[in-house]
């Protein structure tokens, strides 16, 4: 399936114009994480802030526009579609990245580890 040119350009613009919180999380934690994480990754018709394919994890940082009635409805629809693709979507308010950075990183790390750990097989 070919990616839509407008979506590709939008993702490129978002990668170059990350919010301060996205920059903080990317350069302070995700950029050098031992499992590959993509920033502004196109998934279907959406652009995820961050995506870990190995863990099937979408990480979203939410600014004020996400807490309006329309923003909440759009995010719920988007999350349902991504969940139907087998992806887990986790969201953090920008304010949490600003005030509890280590906790955000620990939560992301724990979720990734729990999703990539090989399941124990019974003998």
Say which range, 2-11, 51-60, 103-112, has the weakest mean pLDDT.
2-11
pLDDT band with cut points at 50, 70 and 90 for residue 109: very high
- Domains contained in the chain, CATH given: 18-115 (3.40.960.10)
Mean pLDDT, range 81-85, rounded to an integer: 93
Query: Above 90 in pLDDT, residue 60?
Result: yes
pTM of the model: 0.83
* Average model confidence (pLDDT) across the chain: 86
- pLDDT at residue 14 tops 70: yes
Q: Are strands 88-93 and 38-43 parallel, antiparallel or unpaired?
A: unpaired
Tokens 């019974």 belong to which residue? 122
Instruction: Look at residues 93, 76, 75, 82 and name the one whose alpha carbon lies nearest to residue 42.
Output: 82
């Amino acid at each position: 399936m070919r990616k839509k040119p407008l979506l590709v350009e939008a993702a490129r613009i978002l990668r170059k114009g990350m919010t301060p919180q996205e920059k903080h999380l990317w350069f302070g934690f995700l950029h050098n994480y031992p499992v590959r994480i993509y920033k502004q990754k196109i998934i279907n018709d959406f652009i995820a802030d961050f995506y870990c394919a190995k863990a099937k994890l979408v990480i979203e940082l939410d600014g004020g526009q996400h807490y309006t009635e329309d923003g909440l409805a759009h995010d719920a629809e988007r999350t349902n579609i991504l969940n139907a693709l087998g992806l887990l979507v986790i969201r953090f308010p920008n304010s949490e990245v600003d005030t509890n950075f280590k906790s955000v990183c620990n939560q992301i790390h724990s979720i990734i580890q729990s999703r990539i750990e090989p399941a124990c097989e019974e003998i």
